[in-house]
A = this chain, B = another copy of it.
Amino acid sequence: MKTYASFSKQEMLDELLRVKSLYREYGDLHLSLDLTRGKPSPEQLDLSNGLLCPDLDDGFLLDGVDVRNYGVLGGLPSTRKLFADILQVKPDNIFVGGNASLQLMYDLIAKAYTHGLKNSKRPWSQEKTIKFLCPSPGYDRHFHLSLSFNMELIPVALEKDGPNMEQIRELVAAPSVKGIWCVPKFSNPEGITYSEAVCLELARLRPAAPDFALMWDNAYCIHSVFEDESIPNILELCRENGNEDMPYMFMSTSKVTFAGNGIAVFASSEGNVDYIKRLTGYQTIGYSKVNEYLHVKFLKDRENAVKHMQKHAAILRPKFEAVLSRLEKEIAPLDIAHWSKPNGGYFISFYAMPHTAARIVELCNKVGLKLTPAGATYPYNTDPYDSNIRIAPSYPSLKDVELATDVLCVCIRYATLEKLLS
């Protein structure tokens, strides 16, 4: 196989004819495939069916508390211990709340606006401008959350070992820069893990804003698919470097047990946990302790949780392999694109030839393959190169992932040839 760059114009035209004919064949199949969102598959969800219907011999008591009644905000001792173990922090650093970590992130930002964070001089609603750093490509919901508060988003290059620290150090000198969105492990969508050096540099930042928030979305902390990767304990690193109140680490069990019916937690300094707990005391009498109880009984401890995640990995692995092997076979020899080969998380990040991503997504949609819109992984939905496509292979069946990737490969070739011929 020759690379497209070495094709003559006539060879390209001939190839486009072949590709169009393949594309039409897929069109005739009236497919309905979806590689858009990082959702667990039904098989993965089945792994946690035992979550409901626990052995009820203990009469709904956890730590001596009847979990069916009111009270205990921020997590029962056993729940805080379980998540402290999973995140490798201390139980006093843990705040347990709600069914989704996105909600905890939103509520933290909302409280920053209405009341201010612990070290804020005034509520963010009383500031003229709030800016947030966005390592990109990144998680679209982080960006949309920020935009919903009219924040100004500042893209920062995300490199193989984490965000570009030179850029960040310069940017945090402005007091209007109030935080940064990080997915430090198996990042969404790149699948990269921040290096120790980058984590240390983040911990050593000296932001002008005293209430600068290091939003550390540890969504994939125990979510390896191939090999595990490790990140330093950011709470400890920041404390050692005089930034104890800077990091807020988030996780949930949405991709461990049931999506949207998990336990969400954040870990931060004891001071931050106390401060947020006090404010949350006006918001709720408590989150669902029944769900805490079910999760503590089901997941037990870190070791057991990690073992449970290996069952997820066994289901996810062939799907990742199906995408990667097809890209390797169909696209790599043409030398027209590159993509991530992540060890964990939920995504493969694909970089098409510049200015073809939107067209590839359009071509896929037309024959019944839904993809995350091109640009969605960038602030303001704007990929400067129109190149990145996020591939989420977790939800469809293996057969559908295979077929979907075949379709995708044809659409990549189609759009690339169009571009080369234009």
Question: Could you tell me which A residues sit within 8 Å of B by CB distance?
Answer: 37, 39-40, 42, 45, 48-49, 52-54, 56, 60, 66-71, 98-100, 102-103, 106-107, 110, 113-115, 123, 125-126, 141, 144-145, 148-149, 254, 258-261, 279, 282-291, 294
Contact = CB atoms under 8 A, between A and B. Distances in A.
A285 B261 contact: no
Nearest to A278: B148
| Chain A residues touching B, majority SS | loop
Given A106-B283, A123-B125, A289-B260, A39 B69 contact: yes
B282 A144 contact: yes
A416 to B, nearest CB: 33
A385 to B, nearest CB: 27
Contact of A66 (B42, B52, B99, B286): B42
Contacts of A45: 60, 66, 68-69
Given A53-B53, A126-B125, A289-B261, A284 B68 contact: no
Contacts of A53: 52-53
Most buried by B among A53, A67, A68: A68
19 contacts: A37-B70, A40-B69, A45-B68, A52-B56, A52-B290, A68-B258, A68-B261, A71-B260, A98-B98, A99-B287, A106-B283, A113-B113, A115-B148, A141-B282, A144-B282, A260-B289, A260-B290, A261-B289, A288-B291
Given A45-B66, A49-B60, A141-B282, 9 more contacts: A42-B66, A45-B60, A52-B53, A52-B290, A68-B258, A68-B259, A106-B283, A110-B114, A258-B290
Contacts of A145: 282-283
For this chain, the copies found in one complex come to 2
A71 B258 CA distance: 12
Contacts of A286: 100, 260
Most buried by B among A37, A48, A110, A291: A110
Most buried by B among A40, A115, A288: A288
Nearest to A283: B106
A110 B284 CA distance: 13
Nearest to A147: B282
Contacts of A66: 42, 45
A245 to B, nearest CB: 21
A148 B288 contact: no
Contact of A254 (B70, B103, B294): B70
A103 B259 contact: no
A149 B40 CA distance: 39
